[in-house]
Amino acid sequence: MAFTWFHKLGSPPYAYALAARLTPWFGWTAALLIAAGLYGGLVLAPPDYQQREAFRIIYVHAPSAWMSLMIYSTLAISAAVGLIWRIKVCHAIAASCAPIGASFAVAALATGSLWGKPMWGTYWEWDPRLTSELILLFLYLGYMALRSAIDEVVRADRASAVLAIVGIVNVPIIHYSVEWWHSLHQTATVMKLAKPAMPPAMLIPLLMMLLGFTLMFFALLLVRLRAEILRRERSARWIREALPA
Amino acid sequence: MNTAPAPASALDAAQLILQRDLILAFRKRGQIAQPLAFFAIVVTLFPLAVSPELARLREVAPAALWIGALLASLLALEFLFRDDAQDGTLEQYALCGHSLTWLLFAKTAAHWLMTGLPLALIAPLAGLALGVPPGSGSGIVAAVTLGTLSLSLLGAIGAALTLGVKRGGVLLTLLTLPLALPILIFGARATELAIRGADFAAPLYLLAAFAVLGVTLAPLAAAAAVRINLE
């Protein structure tokens, strides 16, 4: 059958072994890409004509913001798959996604406000993108709070999956209402960030960082997934066989 | 529990639940009054915290009205399913063979009639106390009506999700408030425009769109959440 690989992925021992095998590949590729991207972005790329050296924080900020959103969709999709087809590994993936995504959201907010100090003259501006990011962080926190409030694993999985699905339906609505809210209450124009095409010396490191962060997320996810599977299956026999005593 | 014969259709069953919940609510009038009193107190806090000048209060009136309404609705949501979950009624609903989505929609509608609608009706009075011109009353009623309806539907999901959690009130707030932000944004905007005497149709339409989305999708999610917690 063409779909046997998919069923195999749903089995915790197989997923555990596969995650262990894949982690170094993702991890090392991510480390190389991030090292190269940081060198390219922080050393080789020319300073921006308007923002000078301060623009370089984009090499951490933009990938973090991108990851926080991508991880939320990953979380919601795998939670939905787990809810619909009752695949335990998918719930484990969703559970492992949440803390990573929340950390990226915090990183995006922190780097955003650090960049805001020299650019806007203030650490926090109610900019629509910063506001949306903050709300995304609250969504992550709510998801983790619900999960930790329910003791039974199966019930926690399924309840938090419903929350994740409701959240992902709402994310675009929240995003656009925040933009709309901001355009109505536009105060002093903070700074016109007209986007000229980035020169390749700036863009290539950014793309490398983006890819590197994505692979880093996969590596982190696989490590967390293995821990999550171990915790959930701690009484299963295969674990005693798979792990050296 | 009386043992009436099973009603014919899901709509009949939903209607019976609506009636039952309204009767129960009228027998415990204190629970209807609580969110209203809470709302009144929150609104009273604003003049004490900001200033008694009506001109300045008018500026913060939309914020005061909407934060009060949001918190009062959330406070009431904790009781939406709790009693029925504890005495097993909710389980009977899930087992009775009718679509749980319809039945929960009826329950949520009853809840909104007992909390959201009274809030919408006293909101203009609270507005008057904040120096809002009386002419803007209809706009405020319309905005708060639609906003509390959406909030009840959205909150029903949160209430259903936190059914199995002991003292889930804070958790319910944490789950529901980020999702309720569009309601706050559009609602406060419509109220602000109504107070200024401007045309508030655009944000009102968006509130209505959100309410329609809630009516169609939220009971489905709430029913799924209730089933999960009954397992």
Dist. CA A218–CA A72, nearest whole Å: 13
Q: How far is B4 from chain A (nearest CA, A)?
A: 33
Q: What integer pLDDT is reported at residue B166 of this predicted model?
A: 78
Q: In terms of C-beta density within 10 A (0-12 exposed, 13-18 middle, 19 or more buried), how is residue B197 classed?
A: exposed
- The shortest C-alpha distance from A48 to chain B (Å) reads 36
Q: What angle, rounded to 10 degrees, do the helices at B137-161 and B181-196 form?
A: 170
Chain B residues within 8 A of A163 when measuring between CB atoms:
157, 161, 175
- Give the ipTM: 0.87
Q: Which range is least confidently modeled, A80-89, A179-188, A204-213?
A: A179-188
Residue A173, chain B, CB below 8 Å: the answer is yes
CB contact under 8 A, A146 and B229: no
What is the per-residue pLDDT for B9? Answer: 84
| Nearest-CB residue to A184 (from B189, B206, B228) | B189
Question: With an 8 Å Cβ cutoff, is A9 touching chain B?
Answer: no
% chain B with pLDDT above 90 = 56
Q: How far away is chain A from the Cα of B49, in angstroms, using its nearest Cα?
A: 23
A223 touches chain B (CB under 8 A): no
| A81 or A182: which leads in pLDDT | A81
Mean pLDDT, chain B, rounded, equals 89
Rounded to an integer, what is the distance from CA B64 to the centroid of its chain?
17
- What distance in Å separates residue B29's CA from the closest CA in chain A? 32
Q: Taking the model in full, what pTM does it have? A: 0.89
pLDDT at B7: 53
CB atoms near residue B215 (< 10 Å): 15
Distance of CA A18 to the CA centre of its chain: 21
In this complex, do B171 and A149 lie within 8 Å of one another by their Cβ atoms? Answer: yes
**What digits encode the pLDDT tens for the residues B39-76?**
999 999 988 988 888 888 888 899 999 999 999 998 88
Segment A23-72, tens digit of pLDDT: 999 999 999 999 999 998 888 877 776 667 778 888 899 999 999 999 99
| Extents of the domains making up chain A | 15-46, 61-185
- Whether the CB of A159 is below 8 Å from some CB of chain B: the reply is yes
The ranges assigned to domains in chain B are 10-230
Q: Positive or negative CA dihedral for B216, B220, B223, B228?
A: negative
CB B72 within 8 A of CB B39: yes
Collect all residues of chain B within an 8 Å Cβ-Cβ radius of residue A80.
Answer: none
pLDDT at A192 over 60: no
By C-alpha distance, the chain B residue nearest A146 is: B171
Rounded mean pLDDT of A98-124? 89
Residue A145 sits at the chain B interface (C-beta within 8 Å): yes
CA angle B146, B147, B152 (to 5 degrees): 100
Percent of chain B with pLDDT over 70: 97
B43 touches B126 (CB < 8 A): yes
